[in-house]
Amino acid sequence: MTLASVNPATGETVAAFEEHSVDEVERRLAGSAGVFRAWSARPVAERAAVLARAADLLDAERDALGRVMTLEMGKTLASARDEAAKCALACRHYAKHGPAMIAPRAIDGDASHRGEVRHLPLGAVLAVMPWNFPFWQVIRFAAPALVAGNVGLLKHASNVPQCALALEDLFRRAGAPPGVFQVLLIGAARVESVVSDSRVAAVTLTGSEPAGRAVAAAAGRHLKKTVLELGGSDPFIVTASADVQRAADTAVAARIVNNGQSCIAAKRFIVVDDVADAFTAAFVERMRALRTGVPMLAETQLGPLATSAIRDELEAQVHETVSRGAALLLGGHRLPGPGWFYAPTVLADIPRGSPASEQELFGPVASIFRTRSVDEAIAVANDSPFGLGASAWTRDPGEAERFAQEIEAGSVFINGMVASDPRYPFGGVKRSGYGRELGEWGLREFVNVKTVRTWLVPASPSSSTE
């Protein structure tokens, strides 16, 4: 099998890589197992120093690395540069704070003993990562995992092999010993065999529901820890008290982030009747004004979709939603010419049971839902199989508290756009997955939280319960 790097703006294949052989995968698995003990035994300050050097490289090479991202998956060059900078921020965060996060913590005992909790690495963590944020998705697993003393194995999406190899080279140049961070150039069909290998301790996956189910099932058969970050159909609620024009500005940015291909992009715009007409008019006007084009150009705001299959699926979802009775306020079609471009699209009057009501639309397509009250807005927001992020716009503190408490999501942003941040936990509920990345919570997903109790004098036999 060949892994092809195809430019989404032109449809041209720019590079191709042969899949790793069985022998090469074995060599890399053995390398991970062989280096783990030495890497985990290193002082945490030395592991943190590798992350700090990786951050310096990401900053120094953000233009070149950004071009690789844009070339392989079509995000605008400006957003690709920003992605490299965000990766540097995360590496520095864990270089600075990671040692404290895994430091032993004393537990109150009594005069007879002392107790502590230690955070020890598990081993090799296999990361099955998607193409949409080809550097950020990887760094947010790798930075906490490596500083904790784990080693990383990356099975990246098959359409971004150059990004995968660039990351492997980045950690090598930052000083990670051979085997600490390695890429597996394999297709999805071979993931289960790697998951089942006894040298793999845990698995993290960001991707689709089918991929999540398959990896979780394989890991479950071998009793291995998993973290899953899956799809999202994030609500964006606008109440009568909101700053409608500011909300509309942010709504467009939140819908087209990464050319609309983000799990935490706002997708369902839930607006109360009092401001629905004003918001809809402002939103459609701003979506219509977007500059779609070649992602390498500075003036481009919206680039192509990553693959022809993604565009075909989005086109079918929009067509079916409109055929069931939705109103098409803008767009609704692919753009002519080379590449996989889709027009900015706005749908309204979304019928229940249609794709725009129940599925994740991965691309620059927004769905507007009108509601009569905040109560109904919360109900519509929660009427989804997903629960990743949510944004709510209000000037009423009581409404803000209700949104924070009642919306079923892993993140709720009040008067702001949903975004991941290395300081905060990131993940979802319901069919958006389980477990957390980032913050101290993400770091501790892949450590052995070990209880250690030391008696100062020999303990007397006593009865106990589990």
* Amino acid at the residue 345: T
User: What is the C-alpha to C-alpha distance for residues 255 and 368, in angstroms, rounded to an integer?
Assistant: 12
Q: What is the DSSP string of 415-453?
A: SS-----TTS-B--EETTEES-BSHHHHHGGGEEEEEEE
**Tokens at 294, concatenated:** 């070649």
**Strand boundaries in 134-251, DSSP class E:** 151-155, 181-183, 200-206, 225-229, 234-238
- Reply yes or no on whether 401 is catalytic: no
- What CA–CA distance (Å, rounded) separates 140 from 424? 11
Which tokens hold the place of 374?
């905040």
What pLDDT is stored for residue 459 in this prediction?
61
- Provide the residue ranges of all domains of the chain, joining segments of one domain with +: 2-230+432-452, 234-414
Known catalytic residue at 91: no
Amino acid in the structure at residue 103: A
The token pair that represents 372 in the structure block: 């009569």
What's 234-414's CATH class? alpha beta
Helix (H, G, I), strand (E, B) or coil at 137: helix
**Contact (CB, 8 A) for 152 and 51:** no
Which pLDDT score, from 0 to 100, does residue 466 have?
63
Cβ 2 vs Cβ 18: under 8 Å: yes
Per the structure block, which two tokens stand in for 247?
A: 């909300």
**Are 260 and 340 in contact, with CB atoms under 8 Å apart?**
no
Q: Are 230 and 263 in contact (CB under 8 A)?
A: yes
The DSSP output letter for 294 is -
Which among 442, 444, 403, 445 has a CA at the least distance from the CA of 423? 442
- Residue 382: its H or E element: helix 374-382
Q: Which residue in 393, 333, 388, 390 sits closest to 363, CA to CA?
A: 333
Catalytic residue among 91, 263, 315, 445: 263
Beta strands (DSSP E) in 358-434 are 365-371, 386-387, 389-393, 411-414, 429-430, 433-434
Per-residue b/e over 62-97, b at no fewer than 16 CB within 10 Å? Answer: beebbebbbbbbbbbbbbbbebbebbbbbbbbbbeb
User: Strands 389-393 and 234-238, how do they pair?
Assistant: parallel
Q: What are phi and psi of 282, to 5 degrees?
A: -65, -40
- The bridge status of strand 105-110 relative to strand 113-121 is antiparallel
Q: What are φ and ψ of residue 328, in 5° steps? A: -95, 105
List 229, 315, 360, 437, catalytic entry:
229
Averages of pLDDT over runs of 10 residues in the chain (466 residues) are: 95 97 98 98 98 98 98 98 98 98 91 92 98 98 98 98 98 98 97 98 97 97 98 97 98 98 97 98 98 96 97 98 98 96 98 94 98 98 97 98 98 98 98 98 97 83 57
* CATH fold for domain 2-230+432-452: Aldehyde Dehydrogenase; Chain A, domain 1 (3.40.605)
* Long-range contacts formed by 427-431: CB under 8 A, 24+ apart: 427/227, 427/229, 427/388, 428/229, 428/230, 428/232, 428/386, 428/387, 428/388, 428/389, 429/387, 430/384, 430/385, 430/386, 430/387, 431/209, 431/230, 431/231, 431/385, 431/386, 431/387
Annotate 167-193 with b (16+ C-beta within 10 A) or e (fewer).
bbebbeebebeebbbbbbbbeeebbee
Cα–Cα distance for residue pair 313/327, rounded to 1 Å: 19
